Homo-oligomer: A and B are copies of this chain.
Amino acid sequence: MALILDKIDTQILAILQKDSSRTTKSIANELGMTTSPIFERIKKLEKEGYIKKYVALLNHKKIGLKQVVFMGITLQGHTRSYLEKFVSQINSFPEVIECHRVSGNFDYLLKLVVEDIEAYEHFIITKLTLLPYLGNVQSLITLSTGKETNEIDLSRV
C-alpha cells in the first residue's frame, strides 16, 4: 500500500473531486495514459481511503430548502456523558448537516439546511430547546453564499 501519492494520483483525485462522473478513459486521455493504470489507481485510492465516497450534490434551494443557518452553541454542563448525548441527539436531526465540537467562543458549531426562517424557528422550538443543559445559542442566518465546495486543495500535497 503506497502511503505517498505521486503526481498522477493527485491529478486523478483533483479530477474526481471536481467531477466523479468522468470515465477512466477520459481521465486517461487527459493525463496521456491508458485506461488500465488509471483504473487500478482509482481502485487503490478508494481502497486505501483517500476517496471516502462518491455522491450527487443536490440543489437544495430547488428542492424547497432555501435557508442555510449556522448555530454557535454553548452548553451549561460539560460532563463527558452529557456531551456525547448532546451530539448524538443533534446528529439525529435531519436539519443538521454538520456538527463540530470547537474551541473558541462556542462549544459547538452547527450547520443546518431548512426551508425558511419560519422552519428554523420551528426547529428551535420543537427540537433544540428540548435538549437539557443548553446554554447560549447564537444564530448566523446565511444571506448569500460566495463559495461552498468540498474540493480540497491538492497543490501542496
On whether A143 and B101 interact (CB within 8 A), knowing A65-B152, A155-B94, the answer reads: yes
A125 within 8 A of B: no
Contacting B at CB under 8 A, from A129-157, are: 138-157
Q: Of A64, A91, A104, A113, which is in contact with the most chain B CB atoms at under 10 Å from its CB?
A: A104
In contact, B143 and A102 (Cβ under 8 angstroms): yes
Query: B18, B59, B154, B156: which contacts A50 (Cβ < 8 A)?
Result: B59
State the Cβ distance, A86 to closest chain B Cβ, in Å.
Answer: 9
Interface size class, chain A: 35 or more
State the Cβ distance, A56 to closest chain B Cβ, in Å.
Answer: 4
Please list the residues of chain A having a beta carbon within 8 angstroms of any beta carbon in chain B: 5, 13, 16-21, 48-60, 62-65, 68, 70, 72, 87-88, 90-91, 94-106, 109, 113, 115, 138-157
